[in-house]
Structure 1
């Protein structure tokens, strides 16, 4: 799936970036005219910048976790957990006000926040982990800022989908994917008291998506890769973000 014609820039979705579209396109044309190596380097750089823009909200949340772990005063009148909650809300407001996030993306965040908070309530309730620091802004022992960590994933998915214009070949139908997704969530809650079906669910995912190809547009053409590889790469970065949270002692 390739095309030599430039699609409308996804950057126009965000007012903050819209003013740079023309200049970026001229830069790309210069790289293309300079030869294959400069064009490759430009596309590689463009891929990284798109991924960075997609990760904006999540990256800021990770920076908050690290920064407060290193520098937040222990005797501050506002607890660290409550500061994280209020700071995450302010980041969301600022991104919308500055045109760095669209309202369509912002609508995804409350859904992921609610689901994530519910999962955290369950995990802390059965003793998988705890949030030891004091805070006022919490529900059943779960600080409200934790929901924003899950919301970061929703924000990334909404942004990366638009930035890379995802298309799929041999994607399984919903009649198969919805039961699989449901089984994954059920196992998340049930594996503490029943058999853990993760191995079987991994196999089912591999069988179901084994032939699926994702097409993504970095620059002028749609590149392609197995969707399972995409799953592994995204899961790896989520694992890294989770370990940042652990290391920052939230």
Structure 2
């Protein structure tokens, strides 16, 4: 298992005291695995979940006439959340470097997209760059936080992961297209085909509690993109930002945004892969067990 933070190690040890009493088979075993999977996912999402909760709460309860603009409040809240996570060792300094990179990559995109009118923020507050409030970068950082945390919480390993320089070229093409499609042909469907070719054979191996699982990497991209789309709907309902079609009345973000988030996942995975080099299931002599042999296997990490 990749290294847990001090807080995670503390929780891991206490979780094992409870979970190891679960039987190694049957319905209770399956329920225990499902529960641990959900808790791990929630733990991996903690930064994004806290930020989304603050955005949602500010929409409902933050006073319109407060001396501090709501966007500035959101920025300060995001900074506080990040500081607390590092200070309490919920995130490591190594992970923080990745998250800062996500922040910078996202902020550059935000500056361009708001300038061409793809979406807009309320024109308030001082903590902003141009038309972009600084809390927007933390929304991209929350994706980075999830990616690096889920990588070690589930001890992710990859069979037939493509060469990293090839994935970097695809990611650069995707990032460039987010800008260039406003002025020339939109290559997103070509890029989607490239993603399928490059990542189509890759299988992600992960462990929940006692059991190892496998999933095509493209399926995991799609599932994460779906949850980001759901979070985006909550954020736009909270007026964190709005698309042009939502200015005169909120409605669900169109499903075609799923493709954008799916492609963004490729950029996210490539960035994380340059910090945490993908390893195969057999790395370090460790092979995730096949389902038939998993029952009595104790895994180091809940």
Query: Structure 1 length normalisation: TM-score?
Result: 0.91
Q: Does the 8 Å CA contact 1:81/1:135 hold for their aligned counterparts?
A: yes
User: 1:114 and 2:104 equivalent?
Assistant: yes
User: 1:186 and 2:186 equivalent?
Assistant: no
Where do 5+ consecutive residues of structure 2 fail to align? 241-302
Deviations 1:41-70 (A, max 9, x none): 111100000000000000001001100001
- 1:237 matched residue in structure 2: 227
| Higher share in helix | 1
* SS at 2:23 equivalent: helix
* SS at 2:148 equivalent: helix
User: 1:29 and 2:2 equivalent?
Assistant: no
Q: Distance in 2 between matches of 1:21 and 1:178?
A: 34
Q: Cα offset for 1:248?
A: 0.6
- 1:173 matched residue in structure 2: 163
Where do 5+ consecutive residues of structure 1 fail to align? 1-7
Q: Distance in 2 between matches of 1:241 and 1:49?
A: 18
- 1:4 matched residue in structure 2: none
Aligned residue pair count: 240
- 1:192/1:218 CA distance change after superposition, 3 Å: same
Q: Distance in 2 between matches of 1:100 and 1:180?
A: 31
Q: Cα offset for 1:212?
A: 1.1
Alignment of 1:104-183 (within 5 A): 104-183=94-173
Q: 2:7 aligns with which of 16, 19, 28?
A: 16
Q: Distance in 1 between matches of 2:35 and 2:195?
A: 32
Q: Distance in 2 between matches of 1:52 and 1:147?
A: 21
- 1:210 matched residue in structure 2: 200
Q: Distance in 2 between matches of 1:142 and 1:190?
A: 20
Runs (4+) of structure 1 exceeding 6 A deviation are none
Q: Distance in 2 between matches of 1:32 and 1:26?
A: 13
Query: Structure 2 length normalisation: TM-score?
Result: 0.76
* SS at 1:20 equivalent: helix
Q: Distance in 2 between matches of 1:66 and 1:151?
A: 18
Q: Does the 8 Å CA contact 2:205/2:212 hold for their aligned counterparts?
A: yes
Q: Distance in 1 between matches of 2:40 and 2:135?
A: 26
CA RMSD of aligned residues (A): 1.5
Q: Distance in 1 between matches of 2:204 and 2:213?
A: 8
Q: Cα offset for 1:111?
A: 1.1
Q: Does the 8 Å CA contact 1:13/1:102 hold for their aligned counterparts?
A: no
User: Mean alpha-carbon deviation: is it higher for 24-33 or for 143-152?
Assistant: 24-33
* SS at 1:176 equivalent: helix
Q: Distance in 1 between matches of 2:168 and 2:218?
A: 17
Q: Distance in 2 between matches of 1:91 and 1:175?
A: 34
* SS at 1:233 equivalent: helix
Deviations 1:197-231 (A, max 9, x none): 11111111112211111001111232101111001
